[in-house]
Chains A and B, each alone.
Chain A
Amino acid sequence: RKEVEQDPGPFNVPEGATVAFNCTYSNSASQSFFWYRQDCRKEPKLLMSVYSSGNEDGRFTAQLNRASQYISLLIRDSKLSDSATYLCVGRGFGNEKLTFGTGTRLTIIP
């Protein structure tokens, strides 16, 4: 089983809709989580960190469920510019190795 698993998609969503994806992780020692976005043939860029209490940044909301070992990303009022691959990332305490999911591809349709 992969340490971090994501549905690869693709998710094709109409502009303005709300979309959510989950990511599961197998290492219960994982302490820190992030969502990165990656545009085609570009570098991953940090979208947001994920805090235990959940956090929001504009149209984006991230949640962490330690009991069920998953994190989620919710995008409200989706824009065409949200089209990208979203990478779920985890890191264990004191461990500098980040574990990346393979990404979920999202396409926003006009």
Chain B
Amino acid sequence: DADVTQTPRNRITKTGKRIMLECSQTKGHDRMYWYRQDPGLGLRLIYYSFDVKDINKGEISDGYSVSRQAQAKFSLSLESAIPNQTALYFCATSDSTGSSQPQHFGDGTRLSIL
């Protein structure tokens, strides 16, 4: 079983719809992240959370919201989806012990907004 699981893996939806992407992890990490990846732009951070009561905006948080329901779960919502939110979305986790800890990624969610 994957340590970081994202659902759904693929989603096609229409402009204006509300969408939630889920992420759960079994690594026991306290830090979780949401990124989007677009061709030619690399990965960009949307939101991150250091623990259940901590939520922080990343560089491109507009149009998105998150919820850290438990240490193991971090969901990303698009309240009213628009076509330029079409992208590949990744959830990641990391351990809090020191700045040298790498991040571990889920399999990704491919989201298309028509």
Contact = CB atoms under 8 A, between A and B. Distances in A.
Say if A and B assemble together: yes
Interface in B91-114: 94, 99-100, 102-108, 110
B99 A103 contact: no
B74 interface: no
A81 B88 CA distance: 23
Interface majority SS on A: helix, strand, loop or mixed? loop
Given A43-B106, A44-B43, A96 B100 contact: no
B41 interface: yes
Is the interface on chain A under 10, 10 to 19, 20 to 34, or 35 or more residues? 20 to 34
B58 interface: yes
B99 A93 contact: yes
Is the interface on chain B under 10, 10 to 19, 20 to 34, or 35 or more residues? 20 to 34
Contact of B31 (A8, A49, A96): A96
B45 interface: yes
Contact of B43 (A31, A46, A100): A100
Interface majority SS on B: helix, strand, loop or mixed? strand
Given A32-B100, A49-B100, A97 B48 contact: yes
A22 interface: no
Given A46-B104, A97-B58, A102 B99 contact: no
B50 interface: yes
Contact of B99 (A31, A41, A46, A100): A31
A95 B107 contact: no
A96 B31 CA distance: 9
12 contacts: A32-B100, A41-B108, A43-B90, A44-B43, A49-B100, A95-B99, A96-B56, A97-B45, A97-B58, A97-B59, A102-B40, A102-B42
